[in-house]
């Protein structure tokens, strides 16, 4: 499912127009992005959690030359599915 299909699904299950559903989806993704950029997690009960995880610095290899290189520590966005979502997927 892509973004436009998701907007259509939101509009068909709510009393929102497609424009309103698109604005609601954009607002939700913006709010999640802002919270995660501050290092906060976003928990949607029954659906899952969006969290920021730290990835440690490590040594990697340049695939072209094979020589070792240092990869800097970074933060990554992650999603952990909630119990209800897991149950629905595994039906």
Mean pLDDT, contiguous 10-residue spans, the chain (91 residues): 96 95 96 96 95 95 93 96 94 89
CA distance 46 to 33: 20
- Contact indicator for 78, 55 with CB cutoff of 8 Å: no
- What is the total count of domains within the chain? 2
Secondary structure class of 79 (helix, strand, coil) = strand
Measured CA to CA, the distance from residue 36 to residue 87 in angstroms comes to 26
What pLDDT does residue 79 have?
96
If asked whether residues 56 and 33 sit together in one domain, one would say: no
CATH number of the domain bearing residue 55: 4.10.520.10
Residues 49 and 35 in one domain: no
pTM listed for this prediction: 0.80
Q: Give me the residue label for tokens 């068909």.
A: 12
**Same domain, yes or no, for 58 and 33?**
no
If asked whether residues 71 and 54 sit together in one domain, one would say yes
């Amino acid at each position: 499912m892509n973004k436009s299909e998701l907007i259509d699904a939101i509009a068909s299950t709510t009393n929102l127009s497609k424009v309103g559903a698109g604005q609601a989806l954009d607002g939700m993704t913006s709010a999640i992005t802002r919270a995660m950029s501050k290092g906060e997690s976003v928990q949607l009960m029954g659906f899952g959690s969006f969290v920021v995880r730290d990835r440690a610095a490590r040594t990697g290899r340049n695939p072209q030359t094979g020589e070792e290189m240092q990869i800097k520590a970074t933060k990554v966005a992650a999603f952990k599915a909630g119990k209800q979502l897991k149950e629905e997927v595994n039906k």
